[in-house]
Structure 1
Amino acid sequence: MSDLAGLRFASSRPLTLGVELELQLVSLRDYDLTRAATDLLASLPGDDSHGEVKLEITESMIEVNSKPRQDIAGIAADLEGLRALLVRHCGRNNIAVCGGGTHPFHRWPERRISPGERFAFLNERYGYLSKQFTVFGQHIHVGVRSGDEAIWLTHALNAHIPYFIALSASSPYMDATDTGFQSARLNAVSAFPLSGQAPDVADWAAFLDHMALLQSCGVAASIKDLYWDVRPKPEYGTVELRICDTPLSVARAVQLAALAQCLCRYLLRERPPVDPVLQTLVARHNKFQACRFGFEAELADPLRREPRCLATALEALLATLAGDAAALGCSGQLNALREITEARAGDAAWLRARAATGQHAFNELTRQAVERFAEPSIQGGGI
């Protein structure tokens, strides 16, 4: 029998938040990615008051994790503290740190896999995809009370994935080329066989049966082998939303976390109709539309059986969540997201507006992204 059969879902206080950010490490000489994660981590102080800094799959990445927090103010303080720590210590090591879902011009064969058993396993299993996985995302954890609630919320959130893609999109460039996408990062994620939408499992027991099947067939050794857009995280007692590009600023990362918390509060309270089978029929189409066109995407609504403009639907959702935002102290963050939705302009648009022509255009663009991340977040619409 699979050792997953008795896996316990650790109940959490509802709507507790946690945020992970994968960040780029770049050289101050040319703003290309640099192999610095292990040395940087060794030089960091042991203070974990705002969370932790960890290695990611290649040496050109670093991951920061907030502590579990009940409100958005705690998340904002953690991410700002971790940002300031990294900016300061990167400067001492003659490197820099920035956000963005992809680096605009790095060459993936030059990447080096980070030390560690898990990273070695991924490199062995996935080959060159492991180095191409030098892309950068934001993950948001939301606490729930039970495994059954986690499975229901996983399915309910899947219908809202395109909104998070459009709002976080910050990866229009790869290989020194404008891809035409708002989020090109997710094309790299989609190459992995266990990526995409969670299957139609009814409850926690059905999920464990599904995982036991995958494990017994040698498909997945554990839940962390699942690169689903949304997945349960039983050891934390959370549902993990994994679809966002890493934003260019901590402020935007906080806004996205606020949206996730408000949306989960609304979904768990109202329990709107959820049909995972119908949603699966349009999930890949809707994800592609959001990645390619961002706010201008045309989404397929399988319940209404009609297309919907992403920006129009998102504006309606943000209006619906106004009461939840007020109750959770997130009104400022959701107002900021409403403004960029109305303007149809997020981080991808910011990058394109600043992209210049010439031999060193993408070096300069990355330098500007470094400067943006280095700026402390402000109160009001930001944090």
Structure 2
Amino acid sequence: MTRRPRRRSFAPATARKSGPANTSRADPGPTVGVEEEFFLVDPAAERLAESNELVIAAGKLLGARIGHELKRIQVEVDTPVCRTTAELRARVLEGRATAAAAALQHRMGLLASGVSPTVQPLALVTDEPRYRAMADRYGQLVDEQEVCGCHVHVGVADRETAVQVCNHVRLWLPTLLASTANSPIYRGRDTGYASWRAIIAGRWPCSGPPPHFTSAAHYDAVTAMMLDSGNILDAGMIYWDVRPSAHLPTVEVRVSDVPASVDETVLLAIFVRALVATAERAVRGGVTAPPVPDDVVRAAYLCAAREGPTGRAIDVVTGRMTSAPHSLRALLRHVRPQLEETGDYRRTVKMMETILARGTGAVWQRRAFGERRNPADIVEVLTRQFVTESWTRTVPGGSRPTPDVPAV
């Protein structure tokens, strides 16, 4: 959440060759890339470990695309730019497996959770000038900023288009949040929310759902005001859950908790890419997104964070109550033409129904917390899931397929 903006080589969606459709195979769609943030954990002590420098150094020697995050208890793992779902899945698995191997070299594991379930003092910021400057200026906000998310980047044609695409995607952010919730237990207590990360992260001036912007100039004017007022240190602190890149013709969706499993990350990326491509097509056709009031979107956000993928939801366009599964299926219908164009529709339906049936990480965490109410049980389940999934899906002759739900 707190990195400097980094240049990427995401090719814009419109870079695909023009001309008659190729009927011999599916259109691969726009480029896509994923960033995942993870906590470092010492399984023996059942506590988070402030050792990101060691793990990053080991990871780079292994070829991992791994880097710093705000706190010393965190690392970020990125995929390269991908064109197909199969390629993206392979790169997410590769990134997780290599990062897990780097952590194991130092007797640590990776914890895929939106917030930390463990009870321990707040960690120090990573020793970099920008992070130290943030801590000096924003104090307690930085002290308590211990969250891990998943960010999906999708190529678009240009920045003006990107701003209009964000207006369309904004309407579906609560649905994406609910469907990826993975942070119900915070510092040893059940928060009553499926995604407590969304509540913590939403305290920053430019966080959560963005306003409806009329143009790139409007977006830039708001950003300039935030910079001039000192509410943000630099453009990298624009934390809205969908935003145009400050440097490239891409859209970044950053609404999600880091998912507990590879399947959830891949499904999120499939939906985000299809949403962005569908929105770009609408923008090119002169269709503008309805300017839903901020208070309606915020209300839908709060409901999504609390209820997760199985509870109630608010339809942001009508303002009426619905259910989270119904909203997710409505999203599927909305992007179906794009998914069929890329050949991802059947795969997406199967993955979505499987995840709805077994639950997201929020379900896993609450099941692990169980009667003992011991956060160590969550650490054990999630770290074992991480290692088992990475091993059995990347090593030939792995012991057995990863179970849908970790045993407790």
TM-score, normalized by length of structure 1?
0.88
- The answer to whether the 8 A contact 2:50-2:72 is kept is yes
Question: What residue identity is the alignment partner of 1:68?
Answer: V
Could you tell me which amino acid in structure 2 is paired with residue 337 of structure 1?
M
Cα distance in 2 for residues equivalent to 1:230 and 1:45: 29
Task: Output one character per residue of 1:234-276: Cα deviation in whole Å (capped at 9) or x when no partner.
Answer: 3232111111000112221111111111122222224565123
Partner of 2:101: 88
Q: For residues 1-383 of structure 1, what are the structure 2 equivalents within 5 Å?
A: 12-14=11-13, 15-46=30-61, 48=63, 52-109=65-122, 111-271=123-283, 273-276=288-291, 278-301=292-315, 303-331=317-345, 332-341=347-356, 343=357, 345-358=359-372, 361-376=374-389, 378=393
Question: Mean alpha-carbon deviation: is it higher for 121-130 or for 60-69?
Answer: 121-130
Give the stretch that moved more between structures: 329-338 or 96-105.
Answer: 329-338
CA contact (8 A) 2:172 2:331 kept: no
How far residue 10 of structure 1 moved from its aligned partner, in angstroms, is 9.3
Give the superposition deviation at 1:22.
Answer: 0.4
Whole-Å separation in 1 of the counterparts to 2:82 and 2:185 = 34
2:40 counterpart SS class = strand
Measure how far apart 1:11 and its partner are: 8.4
Structure 1, 51-60 or 261-270: larger mean CA deviation: 261-270
Distance 2:200 2:309 in 1: 21
Say if 1:38 and 1:168 are closer, same or farther in 2 by CA, change over 3 A.
same
Give distance in 1, aligned partners of 2:86 and 2:293.
33
Cα gap change, 1:321 to 1:307, in 2 (>3 Å):
same
- Aligned identity (percent) is 24
CA change 1:273–1:338 in 2 (3 A) is farther
Alpha-carbon spacing, 1:270–1:296, altered in 2? closer, same or farther (3 Å): same
Q: Structure 1 93/11 Cα, relative in aligned 2: closer, same or farther at 3 Å?
A: closer
TM-score scaled by structure 2?
0.83
Quote the offset at 1:354 in angstroms. Answer: 2.5
Q: 1:305 Cα deviation (Å)?
A: 4.6
Change (3 A) 1:98 1:175: closer
- 1:38-69 CA-partner distances (Å, limit 9, x unpaired): 12222334464xx6200111111000111111
Letter in 1 for 2:321: P
Q: Which consecutive residues of structure 1, in runs of 5 or more, have no partner in the other structure?
A: 1-7
Between the aligned partners of 2:263 and 2:121, the Cα distance in structure 1 is 29
Per-residue Cα deviation, 1:157-194 (whole angstroms, up to 9, x for no partner): 11101111111101010121111111011111112222
The separation in 2 between residues aligned to 1:22 and 1:221, in whole angstroms, is: 21
Give the 3 Å change call, closer, same or farther, for CA 153–102 of structure 1 in structure 2. same
Contact residue 282 and residue 288 of structure 2 kept, 8 A: no
Q: 1:249 to 1:327 in 2, by over 3 A?
A: same
Per the alignment, in what secondary structure is the counterpart of residue 148 of structure 1? helix
Q: 1:84 deviation in Å?
A: 1.3
| Counterpart-to-counterpart distance in 1, 2:221 and 2:281 | 28
- CA separation in 2, counterparts of 1:301 and 1:130? 33
Higher mean C-alpha deviation, range 123-132 or range 162-171:
123-132
Greater Cα offset, 297-306 or 313-322: 297-306
CA contact (8 A) 1:255 1:334 kept: no
- The one-letter code sitting in structure 2 at the alignment partner of 1:317 is L
2:151 alignment partner, SS class: strand
Question: Is the alpha carbon distance of 1:307 and 1:144 closer, same or farther for their aligned partners in structure 2, counting shifts above 3 Å?
Answer: same
Relative to structure 1, the CA distance from residue 97 to residue 10 in structure 2 (aligned partners, 3 Å threshold; closer, same or farther) is closer
How far did residue 310 of structure 1 move?
2.6
**Does the aligned pair in 1 maintain the 2:388–2:402 contact within 8 Å?**
no
Q: What do you get for the CA RMSD once the two structures are aligned?
A: 2.6
